Amino acid sequence: MVLRMLWRSFFEGRRRKILAAATVALAATLITTLFALSVDVGDKMAKEMTSYGSNIRVTPKADAMPLLIGGVDYNPLKGRDYLNERDLPKIKDIFWRNNIVGLVPRLALPATAEIDGTALRISVTGTYFDHLLPLPSDEGYRTGVRDINRFWQVEGTWPDDASESQALVGSRLAARLGVVAGGTLRLRTGDGADGPLRTVAIAGILTTGGEEDDGVTVPLAMAQAMAGLPGRIQSIDVSALTVPENDLARKARRGPEALSSEEYDKWYCTAYVGSIAHQIEEVLADTSARPIWQVAAGEGAVITRIQMLLLVVSAAAIAAAAMCVSALMNTTVLERAREIGLMKALGAAPWEIHLLFVGEAVIVGLIGGALGILAGYAVAQGVGWSVFQSGVDVRPITVPVVLAISVITVLAGSILPSRAIAALLPVEVLHGRR
Amino acid sequence: MTVSNQLTSDATSSRFGSTEQGRMVIDIRGLGKRFGAVAALQDVSFDVQRGEFIAIMGPSGSGKTTLLNILSLLDRPTEGDYHLDGIAVASLTEREQTVIRREKIGLVFQQFHLIPYLSALENVMLAQHYHSVADREEALEALEHVGLAQRRDHLPSQLSGGEQQRVCIARALINAPALILADEPTGNLDADNEGLVMGLLERLRDEGRTIVLVTHNPDLGERTDRIVRLQHGRLAS
Amino acid sequence: MAFYIAALAHALVPAVLIIVLWTATLPAPDKPRRSGLARGVCAGALVGALAILLAIARTAETAGNTGLQVAGFVTNAATLMLLALNVRSLRLVEETGTPILARFTPILAAVEIAQGLFAAWNATVNHGLSATDVVNTDLIVNCTAILFGAALLAILALQLAKVARMAGRGPAATALAVVLVLALAVGSGQTMLGLLRLDQIGVTAERITYVARLSVIEPWQVYIDLGLTLLLILVAFRRRFRIGVTEDRIERRLRIARALTQSRWRRGLAGATALLLAILAFQDLYASRPPTLSEAIGMQADGKDEIRIPIERVKDGNLHRFAYISSAGHRVRFFLINRYDEAHIDIGVVFDACMVCGDGGYIQHGDEVICVPCNVRMFRPSIGKSGGCNPIPLPHTVEDGTIVIAASSLEKGARHFTEVVDVEVTDPVTGQKLTSGKAPFQHEAGGRTYFFGDKDSYDKFRADPDAYLRGGKQREHG
């Protein structure tokens, strides 16, 4: 009976209900958009924090900021601090040594590529591809980008780490230069025309999706020779098996000094990325080892800052929609006053009457919310492309949350009309003569 | 079992106790109602026996409607006692009054008052629903009783005024109330329909229902058992 | 998410039951007004929240919890006493005529709610809502779970109030008595544990045993309470309003409506209880259980006191777990795993225990080997090397395609394992057959444990072990 009544009465005052649903839909669109953006980044961050693998970048403590313009480092090499290549095995000697899967040293230098008489400023990066790094505990330990960065794709062959004349050319650079695997490239150290020149064989074309696509990647020894910095490296990327971050790890991130000795022991003996980084700093003097949180450092930083704004805007949208709904509902209650008075006179309990109106409001909220989600999905895609240059993955959680918010909006809007229902006296509406 | 059988049986064993022995359906002593300084009703005392059909009459502003509202528990008196079917109802809480209203009182209004989006049958069933549970068969019999069985699926807007009022009467008697209160039931009807509705009320009286009719039409008053006259908020008799 | 609902249920179901059943047990004049009860609940929530804030500010979880436990214990004891009086119809009336019981109820509600809230917070405080502060799915789901749990408990309370009334005062009072006794028992254990931790009372073996015994009951408390709720539903069902036979159709409709209302409350409560039980069971029996280790194959040393395992049998890349019962009855687990692939066979031979985390063991999940206690993923090529959370290496040799492990190496590793089984042993002096767990004396020599039937043989052996050991290998494996 209740459902039948709800169903029938739902089609009363359709125009006003459509209006109310539209209001809710507008607010829901806005909230879906903001929420989808926020949750997408939040989920990515959470995933990053709960993953079982992390990367740590080790740099000299007083490292000068690289001056990167178009993928080329313009900061002069001299006067910079460097790490020593011979210190690399020390990293495999820390408490959590077995959790360190790989080490990738890097040395980048500015260079000029010459081909067919044209010269192009580029960045040359030396690294390990699959390098033998004998350790006291494991004479045959091999490590390098082939193992660590499995998504790097090479068209051709990987260069030999021992060679000083093989290189990978980034795919975008290769397109600009018009070179293919198997060709040769003349590289001149530095940005002038006076640096030493060497001819390298292009072993393959490298595609990573990152800045390597615009540069030349060579064996570390070759980069050291070009830069005249034998045995020196700029940074080390350490790939480690870690456990997900939790409260203790977050607390430790503010500085291990903040921990009690009991907590410190627990933290030190747990393979958090932070404790591994801490242990690397302990064995490599004057270095700074930092976890690389890609999402947290990028989109996460933006979202964290604007999240409050998102909240305020959403709250304003909800409040506005609720007020609109409230006005519309109030009119409905006035218009249907006789009906309400009649129900009261027939002996309906107050909650039974409220149920009818609130039930209608909930349906309106659900319809408005559903429309808003569809519209918000589209808007989120647009914003995603214009702000982050990528589509926004609208998470499934958005749907129930926005529907719930829509229903709450409508319910909030129904508070005042509900009081009107409660205050309505049947005597005033039932007798036409008064 | 027909509806008429039901109407004669006194079904009042609600949670307020059975009062089948009581002869008095309405027992009012010294009833008064003030709106601020204005006294709408003063020292009204009368009773209505079970099975009586009485009329409350008086000119506009005599306090008829105020009395009706108090009788139907839609309003509270400021002084005096009101016993409905043996229960002192004036002192009950809002919630208890709601229960009394749905179990003991059937209301018929001048302006019909049907839920516009429910069919005739559903309007009757709604009264059953608020009272206890809906029973389609019983509701159909009640519509048959007022001669509207074939119009059961029509919406109020598809019914004539007389038909609407007959639906209202079917609704008022569906829960076998101790008291049927009719407020100018023919006020908005033409002469033919007036005759039809009055005939229906008289038939209900013959079946043993207790009916209080509020009207200012002397012709209708003449057709009842007894007339209670109000003048300036007091009994005029 | 079930974690939060379960934590709320564990902490607050007893509180809800005590408040609701107590109210249902009271005779009509003592029933508190709704507003009084609501005020009590709100005050309790406020006190609980304040206690939580204070505990955070002062890092005094134990003190806060113990304080509220004491308050809860005293209140529960008072309730039980009053219930006894109440049942004997000795109504307590103040001189002014206000029933004491009506006054007491809001206080009871406040204490119960405050204690329950604090306990719920205490149980969840080390369980981060989410990995990051930015709004994300986890955060929303967990917050929703908390709200849902609270709503479920509120619904449970409302429905139980109705159903307890239908079941009658007697059954409600009986159920309340059981709930109270249980709460008192658990509360006494918690209080004592708190006092021990706070150094308010001295540590004695009896006290530790008491706390340990009661901590066994504690996880079951909520199940017993919810079981009682189901029993009350059953009683209410047996005492349900019956429609009976009546000629009067109106009367019949009224009766149907009444029976229907009752059955709705009963079914609603049964549904809410069942849902809560399902969530609790899911969380306690399934979700929170540590992963189970795969079965270890029992191994015994051969005539040369060696264990031989062909490489062929373990080269497939899976974790192959074995167990060896040491002379002292320790169950020593070890596993073999191919560190690389079938083309490059290099078998890691290690104990199923770690220097950092103890003998929690390792499991294989897909391609990963995980340390169960600390959840660290192993770098597979490093298995067999010491350090970090790596499994402890087990000395072994390889002889033409067979891994050979000396029993003595396993005996030495026995100290890493706590799991002990009874084995039949022989007293090396008297030749008497003994059960390792029941032998009164034991002595370690040359990495092995020997058991003795009496002090005499024990002393003799200690004086000159070699004299008895030279006589041959008398030790038997279990």
C475 assigned to some structural domain: no
Q: Of C188, C196, C195, which is closest to residue C214 (Cα–Cα)?
A: C188
Substitution target from A241, A268, A275 for chain C, most C beta carbons within 10 A? A241
The Cβ of residue A255 has, within 10 Å, a number of other Cβ atoms equal to 9
Instruction: Take residue C454 and report the two structure tokens written for it.
Output: 């009496």
Q: List the single range of A58-62, B80-84, B194-198, C221-225 with lowest mean pLDDT.
A: A58-62
CB B127 within 8 Å of CB A346: yes
CB contact under 8 A, C250 and B6: yes
CB contact under 8 A, A433 and B98: no
Instruction: Take residue A38 and report the two structure tokens written for it.
Output: 């926020």
Q: Is the pLDDT of residue B36 over 70?
A: yes
CB-nearest to C388 from A39, A99, A138 is: A99
Q: Write out the residue range of the structural domain in which residue C279 sits.
A: 2-287
First CA to last CA distance, chain C: 45
> Residue B147 gets which letter from DSSP?
T
The pLDDT, as a whole number, for residue C458 is: 83
C182 assigned to some structural domain: yes
Substitution target from A40, A54, A98 for chain C, most C beta carbons within 10 A? A98
Cα–Cα dist A92/A206, whole Å:
28
Which 3 state secondary structure label does DSSP give A185? strand
Q: Is the pLDDT of residue A296 over 80?
A: no
Rg (CA), chain C: 31
Cα–Cα dist C308/A366, whole Å:
68
Instruction: Give the number of beta-carbon pairs within 8 Å between A and C.
Output: 101
Q: Of C433, C457, C430, C432, which is closest to residue C443 (Cα–Cα)?
A: C457
CB-nearest to B9 from C248, C254, C260 is: C248
Torsion of CA A178, A180, A184, A187, to 10 degrees: 50
Half-sphere exposure of A215 (CA within 13 A, CB side): 24
The pLDDT, as a whole number, for residue B126 is: 92
Cα–Cα dist C422/C417, whole Å:
14
Substitution target from C247, C249, C262 for chain B, most B beta carbons within 10 A? C249
CB contact under 8 A, A95 and C390: no
Instruction: Take residue C62 and report the two structure tokens written for it.
Output: 């134990």
Q: Are residues C428 and C412 in the same domain?
A: no
CB-nearest to B118 from A8, A344, A347 is: A8
Separation in Å, CA of A312 to nearest CA in chain B: 41
Q: Which chains lie within 8 Å of chain B at 3 or more CB pairs, if any?
A: A, C
Q: Is the pLDDT of residue B14 over 60?
A: no
Residue with tokens 């030495």: C412
Here the CATH number for the domain that contains residue C385 is 2.102.10
Cα–Cα dist A67/C232, whole Å:
75
The pLDDT, as a whole number, for residue B227 is: 92
What's C273-299 look like in SS3?
HHHHHHHHHHHHHHHCCCCCCCCCEEE
Q: Of A1, A12, A14, which is closest to residue A338 (Cα–Cα)?
A: A12
Residue with tokens 């929420």: A35
Look at chain A and count its residues: 434
Element (H, E) at A202: strand A197-207
At A3, the pLDDT band (50, 70, 90 cuts) reads: confident
Decide which of C234, C269, C287 is a domain's last residue: C287
Cα–Cα dist A328/A335, whole Å:
11
> Is A348 at the interface with chain B, CB within 8 A?
yes
Torsion sign, CA atoms C133, C136, C142, C144: positive
The Cβ of residue C372 has, within 10 Å, a number of other Cβ atoms equal to 18
Tell me the average pLDDT across A52-62: 81
Substitution target from C33, C250, C251, C264 for chain B, most B beta carbons within 10 A? C250
CB A75 within 8 Å of CB A270: no
Task: Please classify residue A160 by burial: count the beta carbons closer than 10 Å to its beta carbon, then call 0-12 exposed, 13-18 middle and 19+ buried.
Answer: middle
Residues of chain B that touch chain A, judged by Cβ-Cβ distance less than 8 Å: 60, 65, 68-69, 72, 74-75, 95, 98-99, 101-103, 107, 109-111, 113-118, 122, 125-127, 129-131, 134, 171, 183-184
CB contact under 8 A, A339 and B115: yes
Residues of chain B that touch chain C, judged by Cβ-Cβ distance less than 8 Å: 1, 6, 9, 11, 13-14, 103, 128, 131-133, 135, 138, 175-176
What are the pLDDT digits (tens) for A367-396? 999 999 999 999 988 887 887 677 777 888
Q: Residue A416: left (phi > 0), alpha (psi -120 to 50), or beta? A: alpha
Decide which of C263, C287, C311 is a domain's last residue: C287
> Is C131 at the interface with chain A, CB within 8 A?
yes
CB contact under 8 A, C250 and B135: no
At A349, the pLDDT band (50, 70, 90 cuts) reads: confident
Q: Is the pLDDT of residue A64 over 60?
A: no
Q: Of A294, A288, A279, A306, which is closest to residue A234 (Cα–Cα)?
A: A288
Q: Are residues C186 and C246 in the same domain?
A: yes
Q: For chain A, what is the mean pLDDT?
A: 84
Share above pLDDT 70 across residues of chain A, in percent, rounded to a whole number:
93
The pLDDT, as a whole number, for residue B20 is: 52
Which 3 state secondary structure label does DSSP give B75? coil
Instruction: Take residue B139 and report the two structure tokens written for it.
Output: 């509701």
**One-character DSSP codes across C348-366:** EEEEEEETTTBTT-EEEET
Q: List the single range of A150-164, A259-273, C459-473 with lowest mean pLDDT.
A: C459-473
The Cβ of residue C356 has, within 10 Å, a number of other Cβ atoms equal to 18
The helices-and-strands tally (H runs, E runs) of chain B is 8, 10
At A54, the pLDDT band (50, 70, 90 cuts) reads: confident
**One-character DSSP codes across A61-121:** TTPPPP-EETTEE-S-STT---EEGGGHHHHTTSTTGGGEEEEEEEEEEEEEEEETTEEEE
Chain C 318-377, CB below 8 Å of chain A: which residues?
Answer: 356, 368, 374-377
Q: Are residues C192 and C340 in the same domain?
A: no
Instruction: Take residue A46 and report the two structure tokens written for it.
Output: 């959470």
The pLDDT, as a whole number, for residue C89 is: 54
List of long-range contacts for C29-36, beta carbons under 8 Å, 24+ apart: C29/C91, C29/C99, C29/C102, C30/C91, C30/C99, C30/C101, C30/C102, C31/C102, C32/C102, C32/C105, C32/C106, C36/C102, C36/C105, C36/C106
CB contact under 8 A, C132 and A52: no
CB-nearest to A346 from B60, B122, B127 is: B127
Higher pLDDT, A280 or C443: A280
Higher pLDDT, B9 or C406: C406
CB A398 within 8 Å of CB A306: no
Q: Are residues C220 and C312 in the same domain?
A: no
The pLDDT, as a whole number, for residue C236 is: 95
Q: Is the pLDDT of residue A105 over 50?
A: yes
Residue with tokens 């009309």: A417
CB contact under 8 A, A347 and B95: no
Residue with tokens 């179901």: C13
Which 3 state secondary structure label does DSSP give C392? strand
Q: Of B114, B50, B52, which is closest to residue B86 (Cα–Cα)?
A: B50
Residue of C nearest to B173 (CA): C250
C49 assigned to some structural domain: yes
Return per-residue pLDDT of chain C as tens, 478 residues. Answer: 889 999 999 999 999 999 999 888 887 767 777 888 899 999 999 999 999 999 888 877 888 888 899 999 999 999 888 888 766 654 544 445 556 677 788 899 999 999 999 999 988 877 777 777 778 888 889 999 999 999 999 999 999 999 999 998 889 999 999 999 999 999 999 899 888 888 888 888 888 889 888 888 899 999 999 999 999 999 999 999 998 888 888 889 999 999 999 999 999 999 999 999 999 999 988 887 777 888 888 888 888 888 889 988 888 888 999 999 887 788 899 999 988 777 778 888 999 988 877 888 898 887 788 888 877 888 888 888 887 788 899 999 888 888 899 988 888 888 888 888 877 777 878 877 877 777 778 787 766 778 888 888 888 888 887 777 765 444 444 3
CB contact under 8 A, A347 and B122: no
Instruction: Take residue A34 and report the two structure tokens written for it.
Output: 């903001």
Q: Are residues C136 and C187 in the same domain?
A: yes
CB C427 within 8 Å of CB C389: no
Torsion sign, CA atoms B211, B215, B221, B223: negative
Q: Of A109, A149, A99, A107, which is closest to residue A129 (Cα–Cα)?
A: A149
Separation in Å, CA of C266 to nearest CA in chain B: 18
The residue type at A98: N
CB-nearest to C140 from A269, A300, A397 is: A397
Q: Is the pLDDT of residue B66 over 50?
A: yes
Domain-wise residue ranges, chain B? 3-14+51-75+99-235
Element (H, E) at C398: strand C397-399
CATH of domain B3-14+51-75+99-235: 3.40.50.300
CB B232 within 8 Å of CB B44: no
What's B159-219 look like in SS3?
CCHHHHHHHHHHHHHCCCCCEEEEECCCCCCCHHHHHHHHHHHHHHHHCCCCEEEEECCHH
CB C114 within 8 Å of CB C40: no
Cα–Cα dist C222/C6, whole Å:
10
Spatial neighbors of C220 by CB under 8 A, at least 6 apart, are none
- Tally the domains of chain C: 3
Tell me the average pLDDT across A132-146: 83
At B6, the pLDDT band (50, 70, 90 cuts) reads: very low
The pLDDT, as a whole number, for residue C224 is: 96
Decide which of C228, C262, C287 is a domain's last residue: C287
CB B7 within 8 Å of CB B169: no
CB contact under 8 A, B107 and A4: no
* b/e code C301-314 from CB counts within 10 Å (16+ = b): beeeebbebebeeb
C280 assigned to some structural domain: yes
Look at chain B and count its residues: 237
C59 assigned to some structural domain: yes
Q: Are residues C328 and C436 in the same domain?
A: no
Q: Are residues C334 and C266 in the same domain?
A: no
Q: Are residues C255 and C332 in the same domain?
A: no
Cα–Cα dist B57/A423, whole Å:
30
First CA to last CA distance, chain B: 42
Q: Of C289, C281, C283, C290, which is closest to residue C357 (Cα–Cα)?
A: C290
CB contact under 8 A, A342 and B129: no
CB-nearest to C137 from A49, A138, A395 is: A395
Instruction: Give the number of beta-carbon pairs within 8 Å between B and C.
Output: 35
Residue of C nearest to B131 (CA): C254
Cα–Cα dist C287/A233, whole Å:
47
**One-character DSSP codes across A4-46:** HHHHHHHTTTHHHHHHHHHHHHHHHHHHHHHHHHHHHHHHHHH
